[in-house]
Chain A
Amino acid sequence: DQQVKQNSPSLSVQEGRISILNCDYTNSMFDYFLWYKKYPAEGPTFLISISSIKDKNEDGRFTVFLNKSAKHLSLHIVPSQPGDSAVYFCAARDSGTYKYIFGTGTRLKVLA
């Protein structure tokens, strides 16, 4: 039972263009959604988050959008840079258990 799904295993984007990474969820009890970035041989690093009561959060080149009715969130990176090439994980926190559920990740490749 996958409560958090990232249906695109990989994505390639030209440098300077927009990268859009998608995430779907099924549990209405999630109160926070987070995006993590992971480079090889390193642990995931926190990138940006959004509360379930918001629909948008922006931090520099990174914006996360939340559509609660569709149970969908997306991460936009504009403009994309080669250093953004990494695996991106979507995660959600259950408000009852404080447990984090992760998606399977999307590998982003930004082409110079």
Chain B
Amino acid sequence: EAGVAQSPRYKIIEKRQSVAFWCNPISGHATLYWYQQILGQGPKLLIQFQNNGVVDDSQLPKDRFSAERLKGVDSTLKIQPAKLEDSAVYLCASSSNIAVLSSYEQYFGPGTRLTVT
């Protein structure tokens, strides 16, 4: 079974530029998560999708971050304009279906390391 795919793996941009990350979850997984992991901290949830609907985006800085999951499969996360404090690893994860009690396992992609200079 193929895992969660993310691209690019690394990105360096200047502040005020824009950037986009792509995620392809495990086939058939209904729930998709984007996390931000700042160095020395645990992953922090930015947004959670169930199919192509947003379940939780309470910690997404909506003035600069946006995310979409068209057709309930792939997802993109965009930052525009980037700030220095956005430097972090952006992790995508998927799980089968949050409505199914047993499907609590999340599977993570390798992440995208973003450096904003």
Contact = CB atoms under 8 A, between A and B. Distances in A.
A43 B44 CA distance: 14
Nearest to B10: A41
B61 interface: no
B43 A44 contact: yes
Contacts of B98: 98
Interface string A91-102: 101000111111
B33 interface: yes
Interface in B43-85: 43-45, 48, 55-56
B56 A97 contact: yes
Majority secondary structure, A binding face = strand
Contacts of B22: none
A65 interface: no
Interface string B3-25: 01000000000000000000000
Contacts of A103: 42
Contacts of B105: 34, 46, 49
Given A34-B104, A49-B105, A105-B42, A43 B55 contact: no
Given A34-B104, A46-B106, 17 more contacts: A4-B42, A34-B106, A43-B4, A43-B91, A43-B108, A44-B91, A46-B105, A49-B104, A91-B42, A93-B104, A98-B31, A98-B48, A99-B56, A100-B106, A102-B43, A102-B44, A105-B42
25 contacts: A4-B42, A32-B104, A34-B106, A36-B108, A42-B110, A43-B4, A43-B91, A43-B111, A44-B43, A44-B91, A46-B107, A89-B42, A91-B42, A93-B104, A97-B56, A98-B55, A98-B98, A99-B45, A99-B48, A100-B33, A100-B45, A100-B106, A102-B42, A102-B43, A103-B42
Interface of A: 4, 6, 32, 34, 36, 41-46, 49, 89, 91, 93, 97-105
